[in-house]
Structure 1
Amino acid sequence: MLKDGKPFSAADVPRSGAIGAAGLELIKSFEGCVLDAYQDVVGVWTIGYGSTGAHVYPGQSITQEQAEALLKKDLERFEAAIGWMVTAPINGNQRDSLISFAFNLGEGALQGSTLLWRLNQGDYAGAADQFPRWANAGGEQLAGLVRRRKAERSLFLSQNYTQYL
Structure 2
Amino acid sequence: MARTVTPEIVAHVKRFEGCKLFAYPDPGSVNGEPWTIGYGHTSDSFLKVRKGMTITQAQADAALEHDLNEVADAVERLVKVHLTDNQFGALVSFAFNVGNKAFANSSLLKKLNAGNYDAVPAELARWNKNDGKVMKGLTNRRAAEAGLWAKGSFVASNTVEAAPGNPIKDLTKPETITAAGGLLSGAAALATGSPAIQIAVGICLVVAVGVIAFLVIRKATR
Whether TM exceeds 0.5 here: the answer is yes
Structure 2 residue 139 is matched with structure 1 residue 146: yes
Question: Which of 84, 103, 116 is matched with 1:110 structurally?
Answer: 103
Q: Which residue of 2 aligns with 1:100?
A: 93
Kindly indicate whether the alpha-carbon contact (under 8 Å) linking 1:41 and 1:137 is maintained by their aligned counterparts in 2: no
SS of equivalent to 2:27: coil
Kindly indicate whether the alpha-carbon contact (under 8 Å) linking 1:36 and 1:47 is maintained by their aligned counterparts in 2: yes
Structure 2 residue 21 is matched with structure 1 residue 28: no
Q: Which residue of 1 aligns with 2:24?
A: 38
Q: Deviation per CA, 1:107-155, whole angstroms, max 9, x where unpaired? A: 0111011111111111111122100111112332211111111111110
Q: TM-score with structure 2 length normalisation? A: 0.62
Instruction: For 2:77 and 2:116, locate their aligned partners in 1 and report how far apart those are by CA, in whole Å.
Output: 18
SS of equivalent to 1:155: helix
Instruction: For 1:120 and 1:148, locate their aligned partners in 2 and report how far apart those are by CA, in whole Å.
Output: 23
Asked which structure has the greater CA Rg, the reply is 2
Aligned length: 145
* Structure 1 counterpart of 2:75, one-letter code: I
Kindly indicate whether the alpha-carbon contact (under 8 Å) linking 1:38 and 1:45 is maintained by their aligned counterparts in 2: yes
Instruction: For 1:59 and 1:67, locate their aligned partners in 2 and report how far apart those are by CA, in whole Å.
Output: 15
Kindly indicate whether the alpha-carbon contact (under 8 Å) linking 1:22 and 1:93 is maintained by their aligned counterparts in 2: no
Deviates more, 1:28-37 or 1:51-60: 51-60
* Larger RCO, structures 1/2 (Cα 8 Å, 6+ apart): 1
SS of equivalent to 1:42: strand
What stretches of structure 1 move > 4 A for 4+ residues in a row? none
More helix by share: 2
Structure 1's 139 and 40: CA in aligned 2 closer, same or farther, altered over 3 A?
farther
